[in-house]
Structure 1
């Protein structure tokens, strides 16, 4: 009840009824659980919608957990069933029944008895320290693991500890931190290297090897989702040549800031083809078709570009799911642009 946040369902009233049975009232949520959302056949593992929308939901869950940590509370039962997705994009983190205050004295009374009876939580999403029933070792990084397990399921469609044979088997794997490497989780889904690295770090067996805060994990997922991480960037000074006509290249570029000029040699004279601004792409045909550069590009002012190299392109085209779809869409867009340029007599 002390956690007031847009992504946390508020409890309005808590008390006892006339018959002595405890009750509480909370906001009515219209929508579906994230568990059902993930299992919608239209959102199969690797699909564009599952990846993009699923990660946006994940970021909102991170908001809720980060806020709880700021208030000294860890959730300890992060899983799709405890997340509700509203009809209009609302995301709510539910069920704080296993929550624990991080800055309190050791547990006593009924709470201590519950801890002594064994680990609390859901084995498929448990960090090793939680599965081993060590409440004194649980802190914010325990929830980081839970979020990592959730992220693992979003991107692969599988659980970190593999298929469930029985709960005790899964619990044993959780005690050992025996996570299936994310690249082996689902052969039908090939994930970008940077996303694999994020997931692997979040579900590291040792707390010290994980992200140390939810905000760090959220930052890297947000950078990945919105394009600021998986493509490196370079900065060029005014007048600096980025690509040269006639050279063979294995990189394409997208302008983030600044302006560039594309030109070519026409019978010994410089012919300016275009002035390019943020959002425009150049150098793609040499990358896609292994042809010499058809034009030179020079920075007209300090300019930052994103770089797509051959290795990243091959990783996307060679895999499945949303990465391949994104790269193929880029390739088609580049191809259409090339046809237009050729028809206008201004091939880059």
Structure 2
């Protein structure tokens, strides 16, 4: 079918009949990208609206397909930056082909002169409305939120592989469908990284005229309640993947606590808080009535580190830690010990067991003036487990031979894991544990 085209008006007619005359610079921008209007869509009701634009249901008569149509409000055409950002959002997100990023179908102009782009019609709710200010109180609730979080991370990681930073990741910009579909929306604040060696053919392209320095430099783009310190200070040219990692940390924080990172009725104070990057850990925010896995808190706070060098360098690294947590063991904290450091001491009453995640350790007993080496421990080995079931003195000492990482297992975290199990299985494990606690254990188990 040959597409019907119309002459491009130099004015835009808003929904309320308001007529906006485009200035010369805005008109040149629009005509360079969209020289003609199109008339193949049947436009329906508004399903979402804001101060800058609105979203309507549309029907493509050519393809017989329902879709979402996003347009600018008439008054937005008075601001070149808004028109530029709108066209750029369609062009940038249109280059990101990923299951967790809503596909863009078309960028065009309607017969009234307005700019629009069409995209997949997502029938669902935003993460913001789904969590509704509530913390994750149950294991099932936490699991569902983390499943959605991983899908968001997958979409953002793909965008990074194409040189695109989102720069405005928040619960309001994440849509969840009725069957678990998750989409990262609103790429209007996206930042394109300079091409890197080997990126030819995959890097997202920028075709619009560049903004003037006074329009682009040291301007704060995004939502202050979620921003990284460098973004809040307007250092747009210094942004890299780690800035989005911070935003993902903020998203995780809200999924856990039900509230954004920074809250204050004064927007200027919110921006100051974001510039300092001072974040209260999520387990402290919710208080003792809600319990999170220590490893999850560690992951969240690492993503939210003030200095970019202290964050995850890539979203893929964040995903790896979250998936490891979901596979099991996430309720257990991880500690690092230096070579030569004593982990447990013979004779002391212990309350934790350890799983070696990395490194080498040695189990030994003091005999007279010397010591007897009982065994060497490596990744996967467990020691000190008797302490979980019986408050008895350690029967041996354990020292780190190399810098090591240990998973710390306490009775409290074991109980938390049991509470998340089916009741019959938890009762079975508790019975075994009670019986094990009364059985004598070899000395090398410490």
TM norm structure 1: 0.69
Residue aligned with 1:87, SS = coil
Distance 1:217 1:14 in 2: 34
Which residue in 1 is equivalent to 2:182? Answer: 91
Which residue in 2 is equivalent to 1:242? Answer: none
Distance 1:18 1:127 in 2: 41
Q: How does 1:7-86 map to 2 (within 5 A)?
A: 7-39=100-132, 44-86=135-177
Asked if the contact 1:8/1:94 (under 8 Å) is kept, the reply is yes
Residue aligned with 1:23, SS = strand
Cα-Cα RMSD? 3.6
Alignment length (residue pairs)? 277
Higher mean alpha-carbon deviation, 181-190 vs 119-128, is at 181-190
Distance 1:94 1:207 in 2: 24
Which residue in 2 is equivalent to 1:136? Answer: 237
Using the TM superposition, give the Cα deviation of residue 153 of structure 1 relative to its aligned residue in structure 2, in angstroms.
Answer: 1.2
Distance 1:111 1:225 in 2: 46
Asked if the contact 2:163/2:192 (under 8 Å) is kept, the reply is yes
Instruction: Give the one of 258, 263, 266 matched to 1:166.
Output: 266
Using the TM superposition, give the Cα deviation of residue 49 of structure 1 relative to its aligned residue in structure 2, in angstroms.
Answer: 2.7
Distance 1:113 1:323 in 2: 55
- Summarize deviations over 1:236-277 as a string: whole Å, max 9, x none: xxxxxxxxxxxx9978999xxxxxxxxxxxxxxxxxxxxxxx
Instruction: Give the one of 208, 215, 222 matched to 2:323.
Output: 222
- Summarize deviations over 1:308-330 as a string: whole Å, max 9, x none: 97x5322465xxxx767327956
Instruction: Give the one of 292, 298, 312 matched to 2:410.
Output: 312
Instruction: Give the one of 274, 280, 287 matched to 1:180.
Output: 280
Asked if the contact 1:50/1:154 (under 8 Å) is kept, the reply is no
Instruction: Give the one of 206, 220, 238 matched to 1:119.
Output: 220
TM norm structure 2: 0.55
Structure 1 moving runs of 4+ over 4 Å: 111-114, 228-233, 248-254, 283-291, 327-331, 336-339
Instruction: Specify every segment of 5 or more residues in structure 2 that has no aligned partner in the other structure, as ranges.
Output: 1-93, 196-205, 335-348, 356-383, 393-405, 436-446
Instruction: Point out which structure has higher relative CO (alpha carbons under 8 A, 6+ apart).
Output: 1
Q: Name the structure with the higher helix share.
A: 1
Distance 1:170 1:146 in 2: 15
Sort the Cα spacing of 1:290 and 1:93 in 2 relative to 1 into closer, same or farther, 3 A.
Answer: same
Distance 2:150 2:213 in 1: 33
Distance 1:190 1:155 in 2: 10
Asked if the contact 1:149/1:160 (under 8 Å) is kept, the reply is yes
Sort the Cα spacing of 1:135 and 1:285 in 2 relative to 1 into closer, same or farther, 3 A.
Answer: closer
Which residue in 1 is equivalent to 2:290? Answer: 189
- Summarize deviations over 1:187-211 as a string: whole Å, max 9, x none: 0323222112111110011111100
1:6 matches 2:99: yes
Residue aligned with 1:25, SS = strand
